[in-house]
Amino acid sequence: MEKLKKCILEEGRALSETVLKVDSFLNHQVDPDLMYEMGTYFKKYFEKHGITKIFTIESSGIAPAVMTAMQMNLPMVTLKKQTSKILTGDVYQTTVHSFTKGSDYELTLSKKYITEEDNILVIDDFLANGEAALGAVRLVEGAGAKVAGIGIIIEKSFQPGRKMLDEKGYDVYSLARINKLGKDLIEFVK
């Protein structure tokens, strides 16, 4: 997606060989037009996959997931990272290791928002080591539903996440694939 790549190059900052900061349009401030266009790309790619719901992990995946859900006329469900006093009882949970934060968290899904008949599209902001995507997959499949595909905003192709998901047979579609990062260096997969 050329508009996304342009934003990454113009507004993103490679802080190291593994960290890309994109807070001006995705992680802190959100560019609604860009999010809408991302939804258009995800809809076009996944529209024949029989999707019944869009899932995302809070919080950076919410805007593009909502735009995708709006365009596909489907419900969108947020998988929670934070524990809540009101989200108790009938939940699915799995532990996920955050590459960015260097810590674990409990990913939670209310049983109320998934059925065995669901065919889920998971949207996430980054794919690096694949931990977040695999956590979402564990919740979906643990509920007896199917993962129809995984939509990624920015994939760090030099890290093992994509290979791991491909080997498990998931249909992964990334809007921007980065081949290499370095201090002030961002190089896309050709």
119 annotated ligand binder? no
- Token readout for 154 is 């920015």
Cβ-proximal residues to 186 (8 Å cutoff; 6+ apart), any chain: 8, 9, 12, 14, 20, 178, 180
CA–CA gap between residue 56 and residue 125 (Å, rounded): 9
For residues 123 and 133, the answer to whether their CB atoms sit within 8 Å is no
Q: What distance separates the 2 farthest-apart alpha carbons in the chain? A: 47
Give the length of the chain.
Answer: 190
Residue with tokens 């997959």: 137
133 assigned to a ligand binding site: no
65 in a known ligand binding site? no
Distance CA 123, CA 52 (A): 14
The CA distance from 135 to 96, in Å, is: 6
130 is in an annotated binding site: yes
Residue 12 assigned ligand-binding role: no
The answer to whether the annotation marks 58 as part of a ligand binding site is no
Q: Is 136 assigned a ligand-binding role in the annotation?
A: no
The annotated binding site is made up of 20, 27, 128-132, 156
The annotated binding site for 5-phospho-alpha-D-ribose 1-diphosphate is made up of 128-132
The annotated binding site for xanthine is made up of 20, 27, 156
